[in-house]
Structure 1
């Protein structure tokens, strides 16, 4: 994998070009922290939002390992405005999600603290710019946000992608590490549309992120288990889905 070596807030073209060239790109947490111009207080407040997720009651495998919330936004072209949409159930077709597809899943909405975080606003603006660049034009985007916490202990390993290797039925999909505590496993594998492996990597540090063209790649994350069996393990990520909308 060709790494993103140097990125500034004024020039993210290297990220865009790698995304276009390889159909995915990894950006380190250190680089993302610089791009997002964060400070310690903002990071702490943002990470704490993952302590207020609700357990997913829709797991067809019977698992109790996933906590989440859900919300969606629209980003119009040629403007910096990102508008939150009315809260709705989340539905995926069964051909996309073989485990939990074809049902309305009613998740709790995103919290006010999460939605108003300056980190989130900068992140969505940054990603809009990158994806606009990949599309070659300013684009109207539907943005769906899925903050997840996957937990594991000696009795139950956590499954970040219980549906296995899959795509999400969107235009671009991204996963950003928020916190990783007492975790073994959790390796991300990306493949092409024919399931040929492109890369296996581990999101380890806060704000490590992988962005991918969901129409041309597939992905999965291996199960997690505790490093220290005396303590619970958890893996907090933010999954961000961008879908092109008609103008």
Structure 2
């Protein structure tokens, strides 16, 4: 049976989990989303993004050398087979304690479900205004090509939508529909579940949604060496 679980109850094959991280602590890192560069690989100028990857040893984060981000068309029909070169997360963010604790919270699940000790961190803002929706998953329902995925909501400001959905079979009725609130971390096995997040629309003139997407391993399996 597929079910929501706590970290202690989490099964890599038969459940997903939602952890709550202190929203007050996360507010200290929200300003780092204000300076995200535009994602140059997506039309519309509504996605802003950075990417870094880390090795975890004895609960210590070591930032790994800069790397391209690559997915084949097997996993991303929109931007598959494209080497994407994103700017690194800012040094001040990486060194902040709330950021480290968020990554380590996700890594506790990785230890259960993956032999890898590397975590990829995608820092993403999706923006919307009166004339344009913002699409967190323009590639549609998909796998990421990793063992484990975590989506941590940092902020929702002036938006509706962004319902995250998990499905066992592509095109089937989702087994989870959840609008993540600030401080909520959704973790799931990428082999077991397809995932998708619905577009956002502004409640007023404009709005945005800030998230970290964590993956283990850091780079999809089909990335070129």
Deviation beyond 6 Å, 4+ runs, structure 1? none
Q: Deviation string for 1:162-209 (max 9, x for gaps)?
A: 0010010011001111010110111111001454321111012x2111
Cα distance in 2 for residues equivalent to 1:101 and 1:50:
26
Any residues of structure 2 matched to 1:93-172 within 5 Å, and which?
A: 93-134=72-113, 139-172=115-148
Matched residue count: 217
Question: What is residue 223 of structure 2 aligned with on the other side?
Answer: none
**Residue 40 of structure 2 corresponds to residue 25 of structure 1:** no
Structure number with greater Rg is 1
The two structures have a TM-score, normalised by structure 2, of 0.88
Identify, as 1 or 2, the structure richer in helix. 1
Alignment pair present for 1:214 and 2:206 = no
- Superimposed CA distance per residue, residues 64-108 of structure 1 (whole angstroms, 9 cap, x where no aligned partner): 1100101011124xx223211111221111111110111111111
TM-score normalised per structure 1:
0.81
Kept in 1, the 8 Å contact 2:13–2:192? The answer is no
Confirm or deny that 1:90 pairs with 2:53: no
SS at match of 2:166: strand
Counterpart-to-counterpart distance in 1, 2:111 and 2:40: 35
Aligned-partner Cα distance in 1 for 2:122–2:36: 10
Structure 2 gaps, min length 5: 220-225
2:208 equivalent in structure 1: 234
Give the secondary structure class of the aligned counterpart of 1:146. Answer: strand
Selected match of 1:198 from 175, 178, 187: 175
Query: How far apart are 1:17 and its partner, in Å?
Result: 1.9
Distance 1:45 1:211, change over 3 A: same
1:75 aligns with 2:45: no
